[in-house]
Amino acid sequence: MSAAAAAPVKLAIISEGVNAWPLYVAQGRRMFEAEGVAVDVTLTGSSTHQLEQMRSGGYDIGFQQSDHVVRAVETGSDLCIVMAQGHAPELSLVAAKDVKSLADLKGRDIVVDGANSGYALLLRKLLAENGLAKTDYRFVEIGGSQERFDAMKAGKGAASWLNPPFDRNLFALGLGSLGTTTQFFPTYPGSIAACRRSWAAQNGERLVAFIRAFRGACHWLKNAANKAEAITLLPTRLNIAPELASKAFDAFVARPLPSIDAAGVQQVIDVYWQAEGLTTPKGAPEKYMDLSYQNKAGL
């Protein structure tokens, strides 16, 4: 079935940034259409909203962190990880001007997307390892990167994880950094694509076509000869300076393609169980992932 004749795949992304570069490439170079699949992209701005809609069928595929899938499955959903979407981003823990250490976050509001998902779980782990209990601070759910940027700029939070270029734009305003995810959690996996197992079973060919196009965009980005065109495909709304875009491209080329495996998912399971204080037996990674569609895509 042609892309024009098929119902579009409903793709949800929580926030934008250079981590979505392969998506911008696949759209700009019409790679999805070349594989015979139409894609409608929705920027949800909230991991909580996105997870709710993924569970109920509001979206077909979602780009998010693996712990969202673990949480969904443990609460009765049939979501599963089907593809690695991006490298683990180097998020900066941006801090208000008067915050000089993790200890300074005691009694303060910390701006997050969702309080019980994504990198908020890693932040809880980090704060606990540095002597702060859950009752020593408050997570304030704001939304995606743009929303958290706006909140930090307005002085509504003492700290927040933020990706480029949002972090650098705040540094330019005098805010500081307490460190990065790469420093604190160097082996934690990056974002993934997930869908419902029931949807995948009924739309296997479309899912494979989607993955083939997206992974094809990743391979295209790995070619240094495509640098100039790749930078033009970054949306102007991201407000990324050319020199930062150039460095981001070079960093992508230098790294292996994004990947996810059982060992990475196991890390996520361990963090989720610790954050939730669960005492029930942990599920095996295969409970939350099905990479057969990525393997069928052949890229």
Which residue positions in the chain have pLDDT lower than 70? Answer: 1-6, 299
Confidence at residue 4, expressed as pLDDT on a 0 to 100 scale? 41
Say whether the peptide bond before residue 165 is cis (omega within 30 degrees of 0). yes
Could you identify the residue written with the tokens 């932040």?
Answer: 123
**Closest to 25 measured CA to CA, from 244, 213, 250, 190:** 213
Tokens of 151: 């909140």
Confidence at residue 48, expressed as pLDDT on a 0 to 100 scale? 85
Q: How far apart are CA 253 and CA 247, in angstroms?
A: 10
- In DSSP notation, 15-50 reads --SGGGHHHHHHHHTTHHHHTT--EEEEE-S-HHHH
Q: How many CB atoms lie within 10 A of CB 8?
A: 15
**Closest to 217 measured CA to CA, from 18, 21, 16:** 21
Confidence at residue 143, expressed as pLDDT on a 0 to 100 scale? 83
Opening angle at CA 186, ends 181 and 189, nearest 5: 85
Confidence at residue 223, expressed as pLDDT on a 0 to 100 scale? 97
pLDDT digits (tens, 9 = 90+) for 230-244: 999 999 988 888 998
Q: Crossing angle for the helix pair 66-74 and 262-276, nearest 10 degrees?
A: 60
Confidence at residue 3, expressed as pLDDT on a 0 to 100 scale? 43
> What are the structural domains of the chain?
9-88+189-297 (3.40.190.10), 92-184 (3.40.190.10)
Q: How many CB atoms lie within 10 A of CB 138?
A: 15
Confidence at residue 275, expressed as pLDDT on a 0 to 100 scale? 82
- Please, are residues 111 and 140 in contact by the beta-carbon 8 Å criterion? yes
Confidence at residue 224, expressed as pLDDT on a 0 to 100 scale? 96
Q: How far apart are CA 196 and CA 206, in angstroms?
A: 14
For residue 72, the Cα-to-chain-centroid distance in whole angstroms is: 16
Confidence at residue 2, expressed as pLDDT on a 0 to 100 scale? 44
